[in-house]
Amino acid sequence: ADVFTYDPGFTSTASCESKITFIDGDKGVLLHRGYPIDELAEKSSFLEVCYLLLHGELPKAPEFAEFEKNIVYHTMVHEQFDRFFQGFRRDAHPMAIMVGAVGALSAFYHDSTNIDDPAQRMIATHRMIAKMPTIAARAFKYSRGQPFVYPRNDLSYAENFLRMCFSVPAEDWTPNPVLTRAMDRIFILHADHEQNASTSTVRLAGSSGANPFACIAAGIASLWGPKHGGANEEALNMLKEIGTVENIPDFVKGVKNRERLLMGFGHRVYKNYDPRAKVMQKTCHEVLEAVGHSNDPLLKVAMELEKIALSDEFFIERKLYPNVDFYSGITLRALGFPPEMFTVLFALARTVGWIAQWKEMIEDPSQKIGRPRQIYTGAPLRSYVALDKR
Ligand code: CMC
């Protein structure tokens, strides 16, 4: 019989070759197409990072203008799509809506499902990046019982998204440049992260030739779990549950007794620190200051928890450090989002990574359908026994 290497959780199996993102987990390095994440977060914009991930180089001015034009051309969704939304319960988790709504895009944009045509692959890519903010904002508005807000193409990507979430017909909405910049930076920090669970899901789904909308819906489903993108929602709930600094020692004791995980801590690849978490922590302070919440008690709990965890043997031995999700919850809450929207924002930003990885795979001549093997541990060959004889 064939013998296969057993590698649960794929801790030592490379599933593909990729030129998009490089991570050195021991050194805490994350590069997109060679550029460090902290430099991109500081100096670039989310749309520019999208171009970089998709095309391999930073755009020249005319290339960027053309790219922006292509994105804003596709920001609207079909009117019938809004009626499709009405089928969801108002109290549905917005991630449940995202899985369904994004999957349904293939029912609305048939032309983009022709993956053999490079031009259609590019249009599908632009459509996904352009429509995700519109769909995510609708998921938010729907849960609030507020009217959907149409996109405005004269605004930046982040500003347009915040406006679609927070403006209401009854009053003017004025953007706060610090918050808009923070939103854009949060999108940059989540744009891609090589072969994590959701990206691998997108590649595996796509390897069969499935259309990109269906593949991204599969990625959203995988992202939803609390060990992956769902950790930002769980991390904030955990900080709320701890409540005050005095309760931290008891909580940490519970973690060390294996009663629960410290959400927003630990990473499969980063065994030194998560470079995204550093930028996120800085952004968190900026946002809290801008909205006048510098004394947010949850920030105090987070900082104290981090300090204790980083000096405790249990966490040091296991190389557990804060990841990108540790400070993102407090930041997103200060931006005005409820916890159930946090993973939706992650999905919105990660869409470019998913689609860049999908495109790279489709265009790779060595690509094969993904088909892991298994180690069979079930019953040996036996004969069927009729029901009345069992
Ligand atoms: N709290 C307490 N103990 C932990 C944690 C944690 N957050 N993470 C790992 N450990 C322990 C784990 O119990 C194990 O201990 P031992 O060796 O004694 O059995 C050891 O550390 C190694 O952990 P592992 O589970 O083998 O590590 P993994 O690479 O399979 O898991 C992880 C990585 C991110 C799933 C895990 O650290 C985790 O569940 N963290 C909490 C959820 C979280 O914050 N996820 C977001 C990740 S970053 C953004 C994203 O990917 O979406």
CATH number at residue 106: 1.10.580.10
- Same domain, residue pair 199 and 240: no
229 touches ligand 1 (CB under 6 Å)? yes
pTM: 0.95
Helix, strand, coil percentages for the chain (3-state, nearest 5) = 60, 5, 40
Q: Is the pLDDT of residue 258 over 80?
A: yes
Ligand 1 centroid–CA 260 distance in Å is 11
Q: Does residue 227 line the site of ligand 1, with CB under 6 A?
A: yes
Judge if the beta carbon of residue 263 lies within 6 A of ligand 1.
yes
Among 96, 95, 123, CA closest to 348: 95
Looking at residue 111, what is its pLDDT? 84
What pLDDT does 148 receive?
95
Is 117 known to be catalytic?
no
Pocket test for ligand 1, best of 13, 234, 267, 308 (most atoms within 8 A of CB): 267
Q: Is the pLDDT of residue 2 over 80?
A: no
Determine, yes or no, domain membership for 11.
no
Q: Are 228 and 196 in contact (CB under 8 A)?
A: yes
The pLDDT of 287-313, averaged and rounded, is 91
Neighbouring residues of 102: CB distance < 8 A, sequence distance ≥ 6: 132, 135, 213, 216, 217, 220
Identify any residues that bridge with 30 across adjacent strands, giving them in sequence order.
23
21-24 vs 29-32, strand pairing mode:
antiparallel
Contact 131, 148 (CB under 8 A): no
Please state, in angstroms and rounded to a whole number, the distance separating the CA atoms of residues 66 and 208. 32
Cα 77–chain centre separation: 21
Residue 293 annotated to the active site? no
In a domain, 93, yes or no: yes
Residue 37 lies in a domain: yes
Confidence grade of residue 263 (pLDDT, cut at 50, 70, 90): very high
Residues 253 and 329 in one domain: yes
E strand segments, the chain: 21-24, 29-32, 35-36
Give, as one character, the DSSP assignment of residue 113.
Answer: G
User: Does one domain contain both 117 and 202?
Assistant: yes
CATH at 252: 1.10.230.10
CB of 266 sitting under 6 A from ligand 1: yes
Per-residue burial over 290-310, b = 16 or more CB atoms within 10 Å of its CB, e = otherwise: bbeeeebebbebbbebbeebe
Phi and psi of 23, rounded to 5°? -125, 130
Q: Identify whether residues 179 and 266 lie together within a single domain.
A: no
| Paired residues of 32 in beta bridges | 21, 35
| Cα–Cα distance measured from residue 335 to residue 168, given in angstroms and rounded to the nearest whole number | 16
Residue 374 domain flag? no
* Structural domain containing residue 104: 16-219+345-362
How many folded domains does the chain comprise? 2
CA of 169 to the centre of ligand 1 (A): 44
What gap in Å lies between CA 201 and CA 298, rounded to an integer? 34
pLDDT of residue 309: 86
Rounded to whole angstroms, how far apart are CA atoms 98 and 230? 13
Check: CB of residue 99 under 8 Å from CB of residue 213. no
Query: Of all protein residues, whose CA lies closest to atom 28 belonging to ligand 1?
Result: 268
Q: Does residue 258 sit in the same domain as residue 195?
A: no
Query: Does residue 265 share a domain with residue 170?
Result: no
Candidates 265, 274, 314: which one to mutate for ligand 1, based on the most atoms within 8 Å of Cβ? 265
In the chain, the amino acid numbered 322 is P
Question: pLDDT band at residue 296, thresholds of 50, 70 and 90?
Answer: confident
Does a structural domain hold residue 291? yes
Question: Number of helices (H) and strands (E), helices first, in the chain?
Answer: 17, 3
What is 243-304 written as a DSSP string?
-SGGGHHHHHHHHHTTSS--TTB--SS-SS--HHHHHHHHHHHHHHHHTT-TT-HHHHHHHH
Select from 256, 268, 342 the residue to mutate for testing ligand 1; criterion: most ligand atoms less than 8 Å from CB.
268
Residues 165 and 248 reside in one and the same domain: no
Structure tokens at 92: 């549905």
Q: Are 288 and 332 in contact (CB under 8 A)?
A: no
Helix (H) or strand (E) holding 321: none
Q: What is the pLDDT of residue 1?
A: 63
Average pLDDT rounded to a whole number, residues 340-361:
97
pLDDT band at residue 377 using 50, 70 and 90 as cut-offs: very high
Give ipTM to 2 decimals: 0.96
Tell me the pLDDT of the chain averaged across its residues: 95
Rg (CA), the chain: 22
Rounded Cα distance between 366 and 362, Å, is 9
